[in-house]
A and B are shown apart, each in its own frame.
Chain A
Amino acid sequence: MGPGFTSVDYMMALPVTLLALFALGVLLIDLMLPDEMKWFNAITAFIGVLFSAYAAVRFDLFLRSRDWPYAFGFMYTMLVDHFALYFFYLFLAGTAIAILMSVSYLETEHENHGEYYALMLLSVAGMMCMAAGFDVVLIFIGLELMAISTYVLVGFLRRDRRSNEAALKYLLLGAFSSGIFAYGLSLLYGLTGSTNLYQIGGHLPQILQSGPYKPVAIIALVTTLTGLLFKIAAIPFHQWAPDAYEGAPTSITGFMSVAVKAAGWAMLLRILGFSYNFNGHILFWGLLPMRSIYIPLLVFVAVATMTGANFAALTQTNTKRLLAYSSIAHVGYMLLGLIAGTATDFNPDGIKGILIYLLVYTFMNLGAFGVITSLRHRNIVGDELDDLNGLYSRAPVEAVLMLVFMLSLAGIPPLAGFWGKYFIFLSLIESGHYVLAALGVLYSVFGLYYYLKIANAMFMRQPEKGEEHLPVSYAMRAALAVTGFATLFIGIMPNRFIELAGWALNLAQNPSMAKLVQ
């Protein structure tokens, strides 16, 4: 006797299924391709991403046609709502750009294998399970599918010692954190008798009130939170990030810093469970009943993350490592948004800030890593700060784009990065966290120093002798054009994207929330 899945179940899983099928397809087609035709794998993977995006759009339209704000599937293990769809689009956009960045890079590295693209698609399938999971089993399996694929991708340059080492460190710390996370989930199951996030959220208040199991609940919270913070690389659980970012193939560093990070955030938001507005009903789930315990922890982690990452970034001489610390600092700002978003009962502004932040971050950070990827040619690795010297005279367009990305990462007003920070600081002030808001602004000014250090190298320093124009492939040009355009466009015309983030949180129907959209 089957559990009786309907066609809606299969429709909502179609984006994930298509990615898995295309990943297997890439592996099979790769066997038939001669060495000089390996670029075809990138095309197959790109088509897979397009198909998956089409399936997601179809489901989006289906929800609109039925006027449903969400749909449950597979016996309440999967919840596809606007939040999940928003993350689907984000992952697919990041992956499509990362695929474009990879084509010529893999040829230069002589590691042009189909497995690269297959693993990339599989990890995106895992990310989608994390964003759409409503059951800790599905979330955990999605997390592991993503993480295991990424371990291999980080170590993809088999002959490069740095890549081996980065993969080993990432694997050991990643598996360790997954173990701790799973232990927390097992305790949560024991406390509530269910693996469903809604049921867990429903049972927790009772457990917290009536005594004897409260210590167990706190251990469960701390272990789960450790796992979640590991995945988004917040200090003190960040040690893997700079190493993995520096050693990984540069295109994968870009992919990890946006898609893998966004997936970590999707999972964190789902499990910590912000309150949520479905047509006027305020729902909550996950660990939200324990917020009085976890918010002080998050305040500590956020301040430590901003402080540690900004100071560590100052002394870096490797561009990839510098951007790794910069991305850890950005996690600190986003955690401030989470504090503002969960501190009071229904204040979605902080969460909305995180969603906008992740959106603009996808484009500006991928763009920055795209420029670094394009520096890799012949025998030059191109990831040291000195390799950027005089980039303006060698490749003026790329240098100007890099400047745009750096200023956007620093949060300079007419660019996209400003809006992410703006909404987070606004939500902090609205919820009364003035000290945290002041600290956040202070550290963003602080961050300007190391972003301008990169600009200084590109525009003020002389290039080393014998450097000619960089050969930049068409795919890379397309990736840089898209990311550069998006960074400028979101910065100048943010309304559409702010509405999109509001839509992801189901704010549009609510008139009192509509004014926040403006």
Chain B
Amino acid sequence: MDAMLHISTLHYLVLGAALFLLGVIGVLTRRNVVIVLMSIELILNAVNLNLVALSRYWQGMPARLGGGAQALHGQVFAIFVITDAAAEAAVGLGILIAFFRNKETVNVDEVNLLKW
């Protein structure tokens, strides 16, 4: 019973991969720029989930393999990724507003002034 309830690192990684794929599919198929930006956030959150779960995994490893209580690289990296996601969202929405002022649309299909 206990073994069934135990959530291993693998579960987190599978969830992370699923989030990543959802984000990629969202970027490639959705037509609304705001939703595309949300999908990019989803990808970055998959990265964070991976990093934190793997950091936890390496903390449980013996120190001679590079593990131990000090093995916090992944969690530090995750904090940087969170900051980066915030900066990207701020700049993204700013550019979207500038675009919307001139064009009155948030549909990717109408972003079509520049081609070939």
**Smallest distance from the beta carbon of A140 to chain B beta carbons, Å?**
7
**Smallest distance from the beta carbon of B74 to chain A beta carbons, Å?**
6
| Residue ID in chain A nearest B114 by CB atoms | A243
Q: A140-B80, A164-B102, A183-B46 are in contact. Are A190 and B13 (CB under 8 A)?
A: yes
**Which of B44-103 touch A at CB < 8 Å?**
44, 46-47, 50-51, 54, 57-58, 61, 65-67, 71, 73-74, 76-77, 80-81, 84, 87-88, 91-92, 94-96, 98-99, 102-103
**Smallest distance from the beta carbon of B43 to chain A beta carbons, Å?**
3
Chain A 177-204: CB-based contact to B (< 8 A → 1; otherwise 0): 0111011011101101111000100010
Chain A 136-168: CB-based contact to B (< 8 A → 1; otherwise 0): 110011001000100110010011011011111
Residues of chain B within 8 A of A180, CB atoms compared: 24, 43
Range class of the B interface residue count: 35 or more
Per the bound structure, the CA–CA distance linking A162 and B111 in Å amounts to: 10
**Which of B5-21 touch A at CB < 8 Å?**
13, 16, 20
Per the bound structure, the CA–CA distance linking A178 and B61 in Å amounts to: 29
The answer to whether A176 has its CB under 8 Å from any CB of chain B is: yes
The answer to whether A169 has its CB under 8 Å from any CB of chain B is: yes
A162 in contact with B114 (CB, 8 Å)? yes
**Which of A31-79 touch B at CB < 8 Å?**
none
B95 in contact with A164 (CB, 8 Å)? yes
B61 in contact with A137 (CB, 8 Å)? no
Residues of chain B within 8 A of A166, CB atoms compared: 114
Contact of A194 among B36, B43, B73, B113 (CB under 8 A): B73
Q: A165-B99, A183-B50 are in contact. Are A195 and B88 (CB under 8 A)?
A: no
Q: 27 pairs across A/B with beta carbons < 8 Å?
A: A137-B73, A148-B87, A151-B95, A152-B91, A155-B95, A164-B95, A164-B102, A165-B99, A169-B111, A169-B114, A175-B37, A179-B23, A179-B43, A182-B44, A183-B43, A183-B46, A186-B51, A187-B50, A189-B73, A190-B13, A190-B50, A190-B54, A193-B71, A195-B77, A242-B114, A312-B116, A316-B116
Interface residue ranges, A against B (CB under 8 Å): 136-137, 140-141, 144, 148, 151-152, 155, 158-159, 161-162, 164-169, 171-172, 175-176, 178-180, 182-183, 185-187, 189-190, 192-195, 199, 203, 242-243, 246-247, 312, 315-316
Interface residue ranges, B against A (CB under 8 Å): 13, 16, 20, 23-24, 27, 33, 36-37, 40, 43-44, 46-47, 50-51, 54, 57-58, 61, 65-67, 71, 73-74, 76-77, 80-81, 84, 87-88, 91-92, 94-96, 98-99, 102-103, 108, 111, 113-116
